[in-house]
Amino acid sequence: MRKFIGIDLGGTNVRVAVVTELGEITEEIKRPSQASEGPEVVLNNIVEMIYTLSSLSEVEGIGIGIPGPVDTEKGSVTLSTNLNGFTGYPVVDYLKEYFKMPIYMDNDANVAGLAEALVGAGKGRKVVYYVTHSTGIGGALVVDGKVVSGRKGYAGEIGNIVIDRDRVRRSDVNTLNAGAVENEASGSAMVRKAQETIDRQITSAFEIFKLYEKNDPKAVKLVDEMSYDIGQLMATIAHVVDPHVFVIGGGVTSSRDLYWDKMKAAYQDLVHPHMRDTEFVLASLDEPGVIGAAMLCYSQEA
Protein backbone atom coordinates (compact mmCIF):
# COMPACT_ATOMS: atom_id res chain seq x y z
CA MET A 1 0.00 0.00 0.00
CA ARG A 2 1.44 3.37 -1.05
CA LYS A 3 1.67 6.06 1.62
CA PHE A 4 2.00 9.83 1.54
CA ILE A 5 2.32 12.58 4.13
CA GLY A 6 -0.55 15.03 4.37
CA ILE A 7 -0.11 18.38 6.12
CA ASP A 8 -3.11 20.48 7.10
CA LEU A 9 -1.72 23.88 8.04
CA GLY A 10 -4.24 26.26 9.57
CA GLY A 11 -4.09 29.53 11.46
CA THR A 12 -4.38 27.75 14.82
CA ASN A 13 -3.20 24.17 14.45
CA VAL A 14 -1.16 22.08 12.09
CA ARG A 15 -1.78 18.39 11.52
CA VAL A 16 0.74 16.05 9.95
CA ALA A 17 -0.43 12.57 8.99
CA VAL A 18 0.60 9.51 7.08
CA VAL A 19 -2.20 8.57 4.68
CA THR A 20 -2.56 5.53 2.45
CA GLU A 21 -3.58 5.72 -1.19
CA LEU A 22 -7.06 4.65 -0.03
CA GLY A 23 -7.30 7.72 2.19
CA GLU A 24 -6.76 5.92 5.49
CA ILE A 25 -4.80 7.76 8.17
CA THR A 26 -2.24 5.46 9.77
CA GLU A 27 -0.48 8.02 11.95
CA GLU A 28 -1.20 11.63 12.90
CA ILE A 29 0.39 14.42 14.93
CA LYS A 30 -1.17 17.76 15.84
CA ARG A 31 0.51 20.87 17.21
CA PRO A 32 -0.17 24.62 17.38
CA SER A 33 0.83 26.13 14.04
CA GLN A 34 2.54 29.21 15.57
CA ALA A 35 1.09 31.19 12.68
CA SER A 36 2.22 34.57 13.97
CA GLU A 37 5.89 33.55 14.17
CA GLY A 38 6.64 33.69 10.46
CA PRO A 39 7.26 30.99 7.86
CA GLU A 40 10.62 29.66 9.13
CA VAL A 41 9.29 28.91 12.63
CA VAL A 42 6.09 27.43 11.20
CA LEU A 43 7.92 25.28 8.66
CA ASN A 44 10.71 24.15 10.99
CA ASN A 45 8.00 22.99 13.39
CA ILE A 46 6.46 20.98 10.53
CA VAL A 47 9.86 19.53 9.56
CA GLU A 48 10.30 18.36 13.16
CA MET A 49 6.85 16.81 13.17
CA ILE A 50 7.60 14.93 9.97
CA TYR A 51 10.85 13.57 11.41
CA THR A 52 8.95 12.12 14.38
CA LEU A 53 6.68 10.03 12.09
CA SER A 54 7.50 6.36 12.63
CA SER A 55 6.69 5.45 9.03
CA LEU A 56 8.58 8.33 7.39
CA SER A 57 10.82 5.91 5.50
CA GLU A 58 7.77 4.39 3.79
CA VAL A 59 6.22 7.54 2.32
CA GLU A 60 6.59 8.58 -1.31
CA GLY A 61 5.57 12.21 -1.23
CA ILE A 62 4.31 15.17 0.80
CA GLY A 63 1.22 17.29 0.24
CA ILE A 64 0.28 20.51 2.02
CA GLY A 65 -3.07 22.21 2.37
CA ILE A 66 -2.87 25.85 3.37
CA PRO A 67 -5.32 28.77 3.67
CA GLY A 68 -5.39 31.29 0.83
CA PRO A 69 -5.04 31.00 -2.94
CA VAL A 70 -2.00 28.95 -3.90
CA ASP A 71 0.20 29.33 -6.97
CA THR A 72 0.68 25.61 -7.45
CA GLU A 73 3.47 26.03 -10.00
CA LYS A 74 5.54 28.22 -7.68
CA GLY A 75 4.54 26.31 -4.55
CA SER A 76 3.66 29.48 -2.66
CA VAL A 77 0.60 31.30 -1.34
CA THR A 78 -0.51 34.19 -3.56
CA LEU A 79 -2.08 36.10 -0.68
CA SER A 80 -1.98 34.88 2.91
CA THR A 81 -4.22 36.53 5.48
CA ASN A 82 -3.92 34.26 8.50
CA LEU A 83 -0.36 32.99 8.27
CA ASN A 84 2.06 35.81 8.95
CA GLY A 85 4.69 36.31 6.24
CA PHE A 86 3.52 33.51 3.97
CA THR A 87 2.48 35.67 1.01
CA GLY A 88 4.84 34.64 -1.78
CA TYR A 89 7.04 32.58 0.56
CA PRO A 90 8.54 29.52 -1.23
CA VAL A 91 7.01 26.90 1.06
CA VAL A 92 7.52 23.93 -1.24
CA ASP A 93 11.11 24.85 -2.07
CA TYR A 94 11.86 25.28 1.64
CA LEU A 95 10.60 21.80 2.48
CA LYS A 96 12.43 20.29 -0.49
CA GLU A 97 15.70 21.18 1.26
CA TYR A 98 14.79 18.62 3.91
CA PHE A 99 12.91 15.91 2.05
CA LYS A 100 13.99 14.37 -1.24
CA MET A 101 10.56 13.43 -2.56
CA PRO A 102 7.78 15.08 -4.56
CA ILE A 103 6.11 17.90 -2.60
CA TYR A 104 2.85 19.60 -3.61
CA MET A 105 0.77 22.37 -2.09
CA ASP A 106 -2.74 23.66 -2.67
CA ASN A 107 -5.44 25.67 -0.97
CA ASP A 108 -7.24 24.10 2.03
CA ALA A 109 -10.65 24.05 0.33
CA ASN A 110 -9.08 22.52 -2.79
CA VAL A 111 -7.44 19.69 -0.86
CA ALA A 112 -10.65 19.03 1.08
CA GLY A 113 -12.49 18.87 -2.25
CA LEU A 114 -9.87 16.52 -3.63
CA ALA A 115 -10.25 14.20 -0.63
CA GLU A 116 -14.04 14.14 -1.04
CA ALA A 117 -13.67 13.51 -4.78
CA LEU A 118 -11.17 10.67 -4.44
CA VAL A 119 -12.18 8.84 -1.26
CA GLY A 120 -15.23 10.68 0.09
CA ALA A 121 -18.76 11.56 -0.98
CA GLY A 122 -17.77 12.29 -4.59
CA LYS A 123 -15.77 9.10 -5.12
CA GLY A 124 -15.95 7.75 -8.66
CA ARG A 125 -17.53 10.88 -10.19
CA LYS A 126 -15.81 12.63 -13.08
CA VAL A 127 -16.53 16.28 -12.29
CA VAL A 128 -16.95 17.01 -8.57
CA TYR A 129 -17.74 20.45 -7.22
CA TYR A 130 -17.02 20.80 -3.51
CA VAL A 131 -18.50 23.67 -1.50
CA THR A 132 -17.67 24.51 2.08
CA HIS A 133 -20.51 26.40 3.71
CA SER A 134 -19.14 27.62 7.00
CA THR A 135 -18.15 30.98 8.49
CA GLY A 136 -16.94 31.62 4.94
CA ILE A 137 -17.88 30.08 1.61
CA GLY A 138 -15.27 28.36 -0.54
CA GLY A 139 -15.19 25.80 -3.27
CA ALA A 140 -13.07 23.40 -5.28
CA LEU A 141 -13.33 21.95 -8.74
CA VAL A 142 -12.00 18.42 -9.20
CA VAL A 143 -11.95 16.96 -12.72
CA ASP A 144 -10.83 13.38 -13.30
CA GLY A 145 -9.34 13.24 -9.83
CA LYS A 146 -7.30 16.43 -10.18
CA VAL A 147 -7.87 19.82 -8.61
CA VAL A 148 -8.26 22.74 -10.99
CA SER A 149 -6.52 25.54 -9.08
CA GLY A 150 -6.21 28.04 -11.89
CA ARG A 151 -3.66 30.69 -12.76
CA LYS A 152 -2.92 31.99 -9.26
CA GLY A 153 -5.02 29.62 -7.19
CA TYR A 154 -8.23 31.65 -7.22
CA ALA A 155 -10.34 28.88 -8.71
CA GLY A 156 -12.94 28.10 -6.05
CA GLU A 157 -12.90 31.57 -4.49
CA ILE A 158 -16.64 31.46 -4.98
CA GLY A 159 -17.38 33.48 -1.84
CA ASN A 160 -16.78 36.62 -3.92
CA ILE A 161 -19.37 35.76 -6.59
CA VAL A 162 -22.12 38.39 -6.77
CA ILE A 163 -25.56 36.86 -6.30
CA ASP A 164 -27.36 40.19 -6.05
CA ARG A 165 -25.65 43.33 -7.29
CA ASP A 166 -28.05 45.62 -5.45
CA ARG A 167 -26.97 44.60 -1.95
CA VAL A 168 -24.90 46.92 0.22
CA ARG A 169 -21.12 46.55 0.15
CA ARG A 170 -19.87 45.42 3.58
CA SER A 171 -16.61 47.35 3.67
CA ASP A 172 -16.85 47.16 7.47
CA VAL A 173 -16.46 43.38 7.28
CA ASN A 174 -14.10 42.69 4.37
CA THR A 175 -13.18 43.62 0.80
CA LEU A 176 -15.60 41.28 -0.97
CA ASN A 177 -18.00 42.56 -3.62
CA ALA A 178 -21.35 44.15 -2.87
CA GLY A 179 -23.72 41.19 -2.95
CA ALA A 180 -20.89 38.64 -2.68
CA VAL A 181 -22.46 35.37 -1.59
CA GLU A 182 -20.08 34.99 1.37
CA ASN A 183 -21.29 38.29 2.80
CA GLU A 184 -24.92 37.32 2.27
CA ALA A 185 -25.26 33.59 2.96
CA SER A 186 -22.27 32.33 4.96
CA GLY A 187 -22.62 31.39 8.61
CA SER A 188 -21.02 34.71 9.61
CA ALA A 189 -23.34 36.65 7.32
CA MET A 190 -26.35 34.92 8.87
CA VAL A 191 -25.16 35.83 12.35
CA ARG A 192 -24.49 39.44 11.31
CA LYS A 193 -27.97 39.73 9.83
CA ALA A 194 -29.60 38.04 12.81
CA GLN A 195 -27.85 40.45 15.16
CA GLU A 196 -29.22 43.33 13.09
CA THR A 197 -32.77 42.06 12.74
CA ILE A 198 -33.48 39.57 15.55
CA ASP A 199 -31.26 39.79 18.60
CA ARG A 200 -27.83 41.29 19.16
CA GLN A 201 -26.97 38.33 21.44
CA ILE A 202 -27.06 35.77 18.64
CA THR A 203 -23.59 34.36 17.98
CA SER A 204 -24.11 31.28 15.81
CA ALA A 205 -26.06 30.12 12.77
CA PHE A 206 -27.23 27.21 14.90
CA GLU A 207 -29.22 29.62 17.12
CA ILE A 208 -30.89 31.06 14.03
CA PHE A 209 -31.93 27.60 12.87
CA LYS A 210 -33.35 26.97 16.37
CA LEU A 211 -35.53 30.07 16.00
CA TYR A 212 -36.43 28.93 12.49
CA GLU A 213 -37.74 25.68 13.91
CA LYS A 214 -39.94 27.73 16.24
CA ASN A 215 -41.27 29.59 13.19
CA ASP A 216 -39.81 32.92 14.23
CA PRO A 217 -40.76 34.96 11.14
CA LYS A 218 -37.48 36.88 10.97
CA ALA A 219 -35.47 33.68 11.27
CA VAL A 220 -37.62 32.08 8.56
CA LYS A 221 -36.99 35.04 6.28
CA LEU A 222 -33.27 34.85 6.93
CA VAL A 223 -33.04 31.10 6.26
CA ASP A 224 -35.22 31.42 3.16
CA GLU A 225 -33.02 34.18 1.74
CA MET A 226 -29.83 32.28 2.55
CA SER A 227 -31.22 29.14 0.88
CA TYR A 228 -32.10 31.06 -2.27
CA ASP A 229 -28.71 32.78 -2.39
CA ILE A 230 -26.85 29.48 -2.04
CA GLY A 231 -29.13 27.86 -4.62
CA GLN A 232 -28.33 30.66 -7.06
CA LEU A 233 -24.62 30.21 -6.36
CA MET A 234 -24.91 26.50 -7.15
CA ALA A 235 -26.82 27.24 -10.36
CA THR A 236 -24.13 29.70 -11.39
CA ILE A 237 -21.37 27.15 -10.78
CA ALA A 238 -23.36 24.46 -12.62
CA HIS A 239 -23.58 26.63 -15.73
CA VAL A 240 -19.80 26.85 -15.73
CA VAL A 241 -18.82 23.23 -14.98
CA ASP A 242 -22.02 21.05 -14.86
CA PRO A 243 -20.68 18.81 -12.09
CA HIS A 244 -21.69 15.17 -11.73
CA VAL A 245 -22.20 15.94 -8.06
CA PHE A 246 -22.06 18.81 -5.60
CA VAL A 247 -20.41 17.78 -2.33
CA ILE A 248 -21.19 20.23 0.46
CA GLY A 249 -19.39 20.46 3.76
CA GLY A 250 -18.89 23.02 6.53
CA GLY A 251 -20.63 23.88 9.77
CA VAL A 252 -23.85 25.29 8.33
CA THR A 253 -24.63 21.88 6.79
CA SER A 254 -25.26 20.48 10.28
CA SER A 255 -28.70 22.13 9.84
CA ARG A 256 -29.11 20.85 6.27
CA ASP A 257 -32.47 19.21 7.04
CA LEU A 258 -33.84 22.71 7.58
CA TYR A 259 -32.65 24.38 4.36
CA TRP A 260 -31.37 21.97 1.67
CA ASP A 261 -34.81 21.43 0.16
CA LYS A 262 -35.21 25.18 -0.24
CA MET A 263 -31.69 25.52 -1.59
CA LYS A 264 -32.34 22.77 -4.13
CA ALA A 265 -35.66 24.32 -5.15
CA ALA A 266 -33.89 27.60 -5.89
CA TYR A 267 -31.19 25.73 -7.79
CA GLN A 268 -33.75 23.82 -9.86
CA ASP A 269 -35.60 27.02 -10.64
CA LEU A 270 -32.45 28.64 -12.01
CA VAL A 271 -31.01 25.89 -14.25
CA HIS A 272 -32.02 24.26 -17.53
CA PRO A 273 -34.52 21.40 -17.03
CA HIS A 274 -31.97 18.63 -17.71
CA MET A 275 -29.74 20.01 -14.96
CA ARG A 276 -32.40 19.79 -12.24
CA ASP A 277 -31.45 16.31 -11.11
CA THR A 278 -27.86 17.18 -10.24
CA GLU A 279 -27.07 15.48 -6.95
CA PHE A 280 -26.24 17.35 -3.76
CA VAL A 281 -24.51 15.21 -1.15
CA LEU A 282 -23.03 15.86 2.24
CA ALA A 283 -19.26 15.78 2.63
CA SER A 284 -18.36 12.51 4.33
CA LEU A 285 -14.81 12.76 5.66
CA ASP A 286 -13.84 13.71 9.22
CA GLU A 287 -10.42 14.98 8.25
CA PRO A 288 -10.48 15.96 4.59
CA GLY A 289 -7.59 18.37 5.20
CA VAL A 290 -4.76 15.91 5.85
CA ILE A 291 -6.25 13.25 3.56
CA GLY A 292 -6.65 15.62 0.62
CA ALA A 293 -3.18 17.09 1.16
CA ALA A 294 -1.67 13.61 0.98
CA MET A 295 -3.82 12.84 -2.07
CA LEU A 296 -2.21 15.77 -3.94
CA CYS A 297 0.80 13.48 -4.46
CA TYR A 298 -1.35 10.69 -5.79
CA SER A 299 -3.44 12.88 -8.09
CA GLN A 300 -0.56 14.90 -9.52
CA GLU A 301 1.30 11.86 -10.83
CA ALA A 302 -1.78 10.26 -12.40
User: Is 265 one of the binding residues for a second copy (CB under 8 A)?
Assistant: no
Work out whether strand 137-143 and strand 13-20 pair parallel, antiparallel, or are unpaired. unpaired
Query: Closest CB to a second copy among 76 and 255?
Result: 76
Of these, 22, 168, 173, 241, which contacts a second copy (CB under 8 A)? 241
Task: Identify residues 172-201 at the interface with a second copy (CB under 8 A).
Answer: 177
C-alpha to C-alpha distances, 286 to 5, 98, 292, nearest whole angstrom: 17, 30, 11
Query: Closest CB to a second copy among 2 and 239?
Result: 239
User: Is 236 one of the binding residues for a second copy (CB under 8 A)?
Assistant: yes
The contacts of residue 209 (CB under 8 Å, 6+ apart) are: 219, 223, 255, 258, 259
Window of 2-10, 47-55, 212-220, 270-278 that interacts with a second copy by CB under 8 A = 270-278
Task: Identify residues 38-57 at the interface with a second copy (CB under 8 A).
Answer: none
Least Cα distance to 179 among 161, 204, 192 occurs for 161
Residue 294 to residue 26: CA distance in whole angstroms = 12
Least Cα distance to 292 among 38, 15, 31, 58 occurs for 15
Burial class (CB within 10 angstroms; exposed 0-12, middle 13-18, buried 19+) of 151: exposed
Window of 34-42, 148-156, 193-201, 294-302 that interacts with a second copy by CB under 8 A = 148-156
Of these, 14, 115, 155, 263, which contacts a second copy (CB under 8 A)? 155
User: Is 296 one of the binding residues for a second copy (CB under 8 A)?
Assistant: no
User: Is 278 one of the binding residues for a second copy (CB under 8 A)?
Assistant: yes
Of these, 47, 56, 143, 282, which contacts a second copy (CB under 8 A)? 143
- The beta strand positions in 10-85, using DSSP E, are 13-20, 25-32, 62-66, 70-71, 76-77
Least Cα distance to 94 among 69, 68, 62, 67 occurs for 62
Window of 16-24, 36-44, 240-248, 287-295 that interacts with a second copy by CB under 8 A = 240-248
Report angle CA 108, 112, 116 to the nearest 5 degrees.
170
Minimum gap (Å) between residue 24 Cβ and a second copy: 29
Give the full edge-to-edge strand order of the sheet including 13-20: 25-32, 13-20, 3-9, 62-66, 103-107
Query: Closest CB to a second copy among 33 and 278?
Result: 278
Q: How many helices (H) and strands (E) does the chain have?
A: 9, 12
Query: Closest CB to a second copy among 69 and 249?
Result: 69
Give the helix ranges, DSSP H, for 73-165.
91-96, 108-119
Of these, 117, 271, 283, 297, which contacts a second copy (CB under 8 A)? 271
Query: Closest CB to a second copy among 214 and 274?
Result: 274
Window of 16-24, 255-263, 271-279, 289-297 that interacts with a second copy by CB under 8 A = 271-279
Query: Closest CB to a second copy among 101 and 241?
Result: 241
Q: Give the torsion through C-alpha atoms of 210, 211, 217, 219, to 10 deg.
A: -70
Amino acid at 47: V
**Site for a second copy (CB under 8 A): how many residues?**
45
Task: Identify residues 68-127 at the interface with a second copy (CB under 8 A).
Answer: 69, 78-79, 126-127
In the complex, which residues of this chain contact a second copy (CB under 8 A)?
69, 78-79, 126-127, 139, 141, 143, 148-158, 160-166, 177, 232, 235-244, 270-275, 278
